[in-house]
Structure 1
Amino acid sequence: MDYVELRVQAPRELADILVAELAEVGYNTFEDNDEGFCAYIDEDQFSPDDVAEIMARYQGMGEVEYDHRIITRQNWNAEWEKNFEPLVIAERVSVRAPFHAARPDLAHDIVIMPRMSFGTGHHDTTALMLTNQLAVNHQGQRVLDMGCGTGILAVMAAQLGAAAVLAVDVEPWTAENAADNARENNVEGTVEARLGDITALEGEEPFDIILANINRNVLLDDMPAYARYLKPGGPILFSGFYEEDLAQIRAAAEQAGFVYESHLVQNHWVSAIFRQPA
């Protein structure tokens, strides 16, 4: 199935509101740019009427322009290969494609081919999650990566010494891509990619660490489940939301029993660490 990319030009304050509204009607990935943002949704869920209604609702708050295009697997790959540059995160992690040179001077080298998945490390939320992972002891731990995308966080967990990583995503090609990237990074024996949402965890024992880089609404909806699936004393890393949403995420997390530890901010995006009480 293809994606629809909705490109929106809007002032920052209004863009944040529009992102929240679009998330309510099924848009599940957002990328900021200098003029506004892009939002992505499966083609069969795209409704021009929904978009027009949302945009009309906020006409008086600022000038907004928008259009959309279909992104096929082939077009996504071509665009990505044309524009993707190697990335260094926290001076310790190299994120690159197979056709880029390795960085033996860095502690971690992650090779990613995204296909139709999101999560090359270039989006602020992924970079923030990787940075936060570096501060968490993964050695010998069993890790859950919810909304795994390309599997980049799962690969990072394996490289940090995790004993086992379950990477879960709702899109079939994303789960396949995560499995491929695990093989590309020689951690296929550690990383299991699974298709599904939070219900795919039924029957699983609690995890030592949970990584959840999804979006605000999914995080809020699934917060009680995260509490069930995290061992006492274990950390949970969240991202996929804006700085102004942190208070709402924190309130839901604390209601579920988690304790706030810290958060990082980059270009209005947040990654926060909470912990299950021991």
Structure 2
Amino acid sequence: MDFIEVTLEVNAEFADILTAELGELGFDAFVENENGFSAYIDEDKYNQQALEETIARYADMVQLTYTTKKIARQNWNEEWERNFEPLFIGDQVSVRASFHEKPANAKYDIVINPKMSFGTGHHETTTLMIENQLTLDHQNKRVLDMGCGTGILAIMAGELGAKEIVAVEIEDWTVENARENAELNGYETIDVRLGGAETIAGDQPYDIILANINRNVLLEDMPAYVAVLKPEGYLLLSGFYTEDLPMLQERATELGLTYLSHRVKNNWVSAIFKNS
């Protein structure tokens, strides 16, 4: 049986939504790229009309384009490797798939098999978050990763010496993938939870909270993050654009946080705040 590849160009705020929508249509492998993502499905499960109806529901909300092509099963590994190149972040962190060889010069080596989840390091927000993580002391810290996707940031926290790590996602298939990736990297103890901000209510306080989601969710859920953030703890945010930063800074200030710094890549931002 051959595969159908659907490649969508769409901004990150809608990419995760469309990933979930296509998952409901039977697509079972997703690879992110700088402009959106590619989705894969067995040819016999592919329904062109269902795809068109799904795309049409979002056409008025966001600019998006898509293309489709057939991939022979014997070329599947080649196609996967073509779409997921290993990379280095901050001159220290190797992010690769399990079929890539381990590089000799990486201080930290993370293996990610993304399946249907976002977070391979190729998107600007993931890269920016990891670069910001590298500036913070994680040793023996308690870390929370909200909207964990593949679990890459939670795994990075483990690589940096975090003692306790909790990761949260709203989709059950993403939770499964994050657990698989955590185990693949030797971090079976990462507590991956299904749900949203309600799942962290009443938790013991965290030293570092990571949230790479989108502007609206961050604005809505920031009080829940601050409620479980230790005094002098750090909140790292991403998933928004440079023009959104003042709005998030204002919200953070209202909640008693202090803005420290931010990084920008292709208009995407990751910012660091500190609790009082």
TM-score by length of structure 2 reads: 0.78
Residues 77 and 263 of structure 1: is their aligned pair in 2 closer, same or farther, counting only changes over 3 Å?
farther
1:113-151 CA-to-partner distances (Å, cap 9, x unmatched) read 001000000101001100100000001101000000000
For residues 128-277 of structure 1, the aligned pairs below 5 Å read 128-189=128-189, 191-277=190-276
Partner residue, 2:9? 7
What one-letter code is carried by the residue in structure 1 that aligns with 2:201?
E
- Contact map agreement 1:77 1:115 (CA 8 A) in 2: no
What one-letter code is carried by the residue in structure 2 that aligns with 1:94?
S
- Contact map agreement 2:151 2:179 (CA 8 A) in 1: yes
Residues 228 and 125 of structure 1: is their aligned pair in 2 closer, same or farther, counting only changes over 3 Å?
same
Q: Does 1:38 align with 2:40?
A: no
How far residue 226 of structure 1 moved from its aligned partner, in angstroms, is 1.1
How far residue 223 of structure 1 moved from its aligned partner, in angstroms, is 1.1
**Aligned partners of 1:28 and 1:203: how far apart in 2?**
31
How far residue 82 of structure 1 moved from its aligned partner, in angstroms, is 3.4
| Structure 1 unmatched ranges of 5 or more | 9-14, 56-63
Residues 225 and 65 of structure 1: is their aligned pair in 2 closer, same or farther, counting only changes over 3 Å?
closer
**Aligned partners of 1:198 and 1:95: how far apart in 2?**
28
How far residue 39 of structure 1 moved from its aligned partner, in angstroms, is 7.8
Partner residue, 1:112? 112
How far residue 94 of structure 1 moved from its aligned partner, in angstroms, is 0.5
1:148-203 CA-to-partner distances (Å, cap 9, x unmatched) read 000010011011010010011001111111111111111213x1111111111133
**Aligned partners of 2:242 and 2:149: how far apart in 1?**
22
How far residue 105 of structure 1 moved from its aligned partner, in angstroms, is 2.0
1:21-68 CA-to-partner distances (Å, cap 9, x unmatched) read x69xx6689x775xxx4389xx99x8555434346xxxxxxxx77347
Q: Aligned pairs, how many?
A: 247
How far residue 77 of structure 1 moved from its aligned partner, in angstroms, is 8.7
Greater displacement, 200-209 / 155-164: 200-209
Partner residue, 2:41? none
**Aligned partners of 2:79 and 2:220: how far apart in 1?**
33
- Contact map agreement 1:77 1:116 (CA 8 A) in 2: no
How far residue 106 of structure 1 moved from its aligned partner, in angstroms, is 1.8
Q: Over the residues paired in the alignment, what is the CA RMSD in angstroms?
A: 3.3
How far residue 81 of structure 1 moved from its aligned partner, in angstroms, is 3.5
How far residue 104 of structure 1 moved from its aligned partner, in angstroms, is 3.3
Partner residue, 2:121? 121
User: SS in structure 2 opposite 1:127?
Assistant: helix
TM-score by length of structure 1 reads: 0.78
**Aligned partners of 1:98 and 1:6: how far apart in 2?**
25
- Contact map agreement 1:28 1:215 (CA 8 A) in 2: no
For residues 28-107 of structure 1, the aligned pairs below 5 Å read 33=34, 37-38=35-36, 50-54=57-61, 66-67=65-66, 80-107=80-107
1:86-121 CA-to-partner distances (Å, cap 9, x unmatched) read 110111111111111112322100011001000000
**Aligned partners of 2:226 and 2:232: how far apart in 1?**
11
| Structure 2 unmatched ranges of 5 or more | 1-5, 21-31, 39-49
What one-letter code is carried by the residue in structure 1 that aligns with 2:58?
V
**Aligned partners of 1:181 and 1:65: how far apart in 2?**
30
**Aligned partners of 2:262 and 2:155: how far apart in 1?**
22
1:208-231 CA-to-partner distances (Å, cap 9, x unmatched) read 110000111110110111110101
